[in-house]
Chains A and B, each alone.
Chain A
Amino acid sequence: MVTLQQLIFKLSEFWSTHGCLLQQPLDVEMGAGTMHAETFLRVLGPEPWSVAYVQPSRRPADGRFGENPNRLFKHHQFQVILKPAPDEVQQLYLQSLEACGIDLRAHDVRFEEDNWESPTLGAWGIGWQILFDGQEITQFTYFQQAGGIDLSPISVELTYGLERLAMALQDVDDVFDLEWANGVKYRDVRHRDEVEQSKYAFGQIDMPRAEFTALHRTFFDQYYRLAETLLASGLVLPAHEYCLKCSHMFNLLDASGGVGVTERMAYILRVRQLAVAIAKAWIGEKPEEPLAAASA
């Protein structure tokens, strides 16, 4: 039986022997490992870079109060970036599954078209979801653009859904039944946080709905302003962190039903404009227009 933490060891070991730097999660709330500076910024520009890390990923709208066997407020991604993308990357990926104890010959492992896109990051790529007997366990993407910038060389991103992969390996139907370590269940480690975070995400707190929404809008605006100021001061990495905070505030507003459809689009555009400006600043390009226009 491969425990969740053994799975992390095995993937870390595999990718470290294949030239990846082992990084740590970015200590800011985010929806996916792609948003980590080690991915979002490092894929820009010509310098080779190979890195692997675990990123806890918060998706407020997926919170289910710890009651759903498959959906989580926070799940864990194992993220690998290889730049430039090696010719043998599919083979390497399959070897990493073997390293985790999967017998490829006994299962049905498939690369099915699934092109990844993140409107808030101005990023998209071509690739597949990797299906393991019909279950998606990894997103495999050749990045084409990030922060609105065409990439050269092309990076490949492998995002393993650790819980999904572990469920397949341990043959369990409920994520909370996973063995995190020997004798310690996922439930013991994560359940309380899932319940409490879900209540928060859906606004079930001692505060009227309108006030909850207004407060998070204010947070968004303040983080946004700070990010702009940091960027204008030439501090790209702090600006990036506050851009992530904006994105998370937007996700919370979205989950609690605080934004309408049209407004939703406007929020996404604002975060995107910030992300694009940060990406340009990282590679030393001047933004085309002053960012202040974006916050109008």
Chain B
Amino acid sequence: MDRELLIEIGVEELPAAWLPGLTRQLHDRVQARLKELRIAPGAPVESYGTPRRLTAHVARIAERQEDLEEEISGPPVSAAIDKDGRPTPAALGFAKKQGVGFEALGRKQTPRGEYLVFRNHVRGKSAVDALPDLMSGLLRDLSFPKQMHWDAVLDDARGELPFGRAIRWLLFLYGGRVVPFTIGRAANAAGPLVQDVESGALTYGHRFLATSGRAGRSIKVRSFDEYQARLKEHFVVLDHTERRERIVRSLELHARRLGGRVQLKEHATLIEEVADLVEFPAVVAGFFDLAFLALPEEVLVTTLVHHQHYFPVVSDRGELKQAFLAVVNTQPQDERLIAKNTERVVTARLRDARFFWESDRRIPLESRLERLHTLLFHKKLGSYRDKAERIERVAQRIASEAFGVPTEAEHAAKAARLAKADLTSDMVFEFPELQGTMGGIYAREQRLPEQVWKAIYFHYLPIGVESDAPPSREQLGAASVSWAAVSLADKLDTVVGLLGAGEKVTGSRDPYGLRRQMHGIVRVLMDLPELTGLNRELDLSQLAPDAHADVAGFAVERVRYALEQRGFPIEVVRAATASLAISPLRARRVAEALQAMRTSADFQALAVLFKRVKNIAREGKDDGPVDRTALGEPAETALVGELDRRRSRIAEATDGADYKRAFVEIAGLRPAVDRFFLEVFVMADDARTRSARLALMAELRDLILQIADISEIVPQTE
């Protein structure tokens, strides 16, 4: 009969950021380990996580492992039986090794001849006997961003058992009965205060809350239903979703009472996080002095959200109120008692922030540049002062030349020069996540124009400390061009500079975050029209002409990644990024056009033909011009004619960035190409004819390849 499996690993508080991943791992690993143990689950594996427990539950699993049929090969029959028909020592040795007599062995025909085999029937163990292996496997399987040593050992080949946090209890039940399992302790730690962790039928409720008896006492359970019910009684909400929903309801309720609301969408990440910081969530409201509302909103929000995990309350018009909401892990008897303490912390932090806000503004950004000398950017590339000077030049050039907006060049240059100045401010020293933002605010305070202060404010985007989205056109206002120039100049300086200085990016190592930086460059270029109104298909060689050769390949890799992220199928992505020198915007538009065209029959047929064209053209010696006098066959003349007719139309469509029309023109080549392959044998004996035909193929290939390698999207069946 199938029975229930219940596992709870009781731990000291796990970091909130780990819980979503660990809960998933737990599900996957229990499922995989059951399969490996040949114990069929009769119901889905469920997993749950709170800061103090990782729980897995399967409503029904088989009572026994499935039997195993093993077939172990021995020596070939030719070497196993002597000429008298008796077993040789090799055969007897094999039988002995399997623990059976020679008569028990069978034979098996293989392509290499006939072999002795031992067919073994392994009877499955009962689940209770097999499940300890599941636990030791599981404890080894779970991986953590950082693990700790806690003087624990398992009785397996590896010995020491590091884990994410110390394990304090193990609830391990099969069909209501305890599955015996022990985590041992290192010999030099074990003693009356450091003991083995033995599996049992016990769990623990909330640290401080209990409906009856003393909080923190053990609770005996026999089934998952009982487990859930008892945990609920003991103030533990097992399910993350349920905790999150309670938090959201409670935040909304409290905010309404304060005549405001909480920006749930903006704070979605914080909500997920606090839901994993608590076992029994509740909300208390705190207040701060009205005078602090004179601080920039960004500073207030950072203090509340990033430093304290508190939610700001805003009015219906979205303006901050002098209140915040804190999610706590208890059922407050007296909300004010807790709130008063939270207010003390918030006030102390805001007082610090106000001090920085006042002292920072006494030093204009321009005079901070000197201090950037002491901040090292990279040992080969100098200080942040040096970086500021470089990006000033690059931003100016991007705005005037690459963007073709010389009127914005001065703004871009000024913003770039000042972009890093806030690194010397006390506020950014204390709140590093406000880098850029503070510089922008201080520039605004100095009455620098919008094109300058906003370019500084947003210049880390689209790859910020918190948000990975670019600013919107509306947010950027008049600063869209200057922002794009500074954002690109800064990231190009980092990527091109560091790659040029010999820093490497490998699969697992990217200490300077160059992949993200390049991703930022690609995203700005890819969406340039939407972000800035500039309709320019720029590639890296136009922005950084002197870049190291590796940079182009690195860029294409990021373009492909960005397109895949936007949901383009891999073959479309490959087709659209065939050229290394491709502009991200052009790649995106080509991918969009391919996506629209790829189902048309002409286009698909042409894609197949194009593959042939590419293969044949490879036979050609050089890419010289086609010797037209050598081409007299009607199918040849027809193809040459088609090409001549369509070449200019394709160029015109491409110049106008109308790749769909270009592909329509290209698809129109299909009948002529088809006929050519039908009637003409390219590899003619006559050398002159052959080379003219190969050159024609190369020309056709290059015409198409300059837009996309459409052979990539040949249907799978071909």
Contact = CB atoms under 8 A, between A and B. Distances in A.
B338 A104 contact: no
Tell me what chain B mostly uses at the interface: helix, strand, loop, or mixed.
loop
Contacts of B333: 105-106
B16 A106 contact: no
A168 interface: yes
Interface string B291-330: 0000000000000000010100000000000000010111
Contact of B150 (A142, A168, A173): A142
B326 A134 contact: yes
A249 B208 CA distance: 45
B18 to A, nearest CB: 9
A221 interface: no
Nearest to A70: B348
A105 B216 contact: no
Interface stretch (B188-196, B458-466, B492-500, B507-515): B188-196
B277 A110 contact: yes
B189 A153 contact: yes
Contacts of B347: 173
Interface stretch (A84-92, A180-188, A284-292): A84-92
**Which of A48, A111, A167, A260 gathers most chain B CB within 10 Å?**
A111
Contacts of B166: 85, 87, 142
A287 to B, nearest CB: 24
- 6 nearest A-B residue pairs (beta carbon): A133-B341, A153-B189, A113-B15, A86-B193, A108-B328, A84-B189
8 contacts: A68-B352, A87-B195, A106-B334, A106-B338, A135-B345, A150-B149, A152-B149, A262-B379
B165 A126 contact: yes
A193 interface: no
Given A126-B146, A152-B151, A110 B189 contact: no
Given A69-B348, A91-B216, A112-B277, A135 B329 contact: no
Contact of A105 (B215, B277, B344): B215
B188 A152 contact: yes
Interface of A: 46, 48, 68-70, 84-88, 90-91, 94, 104-113, 115, 126, 128, 132-135, 142, 144, 150-154, 167-168, 171, 173, 260-262
Contacts of A150: 149
B698 to A, nearest CB: 55
Contact of B341 (A46, A107, A112, A151): A107
Contact of A168 (B328, B341, B346): B341
A248 to B, nearest CB: 22
Contacts of B122: none
A86 B334 CA distance: 34
Interface string B137-180: 00000000010111100000000000001101000000000000
Interface of B: 12-13, 15-17, 51, 146, 148-151, 165-166, 168, 186, 188-189, 191, 193-195, 207-209, 215-216, 277-278, 308, 310, 326, 328-330, 332-334, 337-338, 340-342, 344-348, 351-352, 374-376, 379
Given A133-B338, A151-B149, 8 more contacts: A105-B208, A108-B338, A110-B329, A112-B13, A144-B149, A153-B188, A260-B374, A261-B375
B374 A171 contact: no
B151 A153 contact: yes
B194 A87 contact: yes
A75 to B, nearest CB: 14
Contacts of B326: 108, 134
Contacts of B345: 133-135
Contacts of A70: 348, 351-352
A134 B148 CA distance: 26
A107 B374 contact: no
Nearest to A108: B328
Nearest to B193: A86
A132 B195 CA distance: 30
A86 B194 contact: yes
A254 to B, nearest CB: 12
Contact of B146 (A90, A106, A115, A152): A115
A95 B216 CA distance: 12
Contacts of A107: 330, 337-338, 341
A84 B151 contact: yes
Contacts of B342: 133-135
A229 B240 CA distance: 58
A58 to B, nearest CB: 20
B166 to A, nearest CB: 7
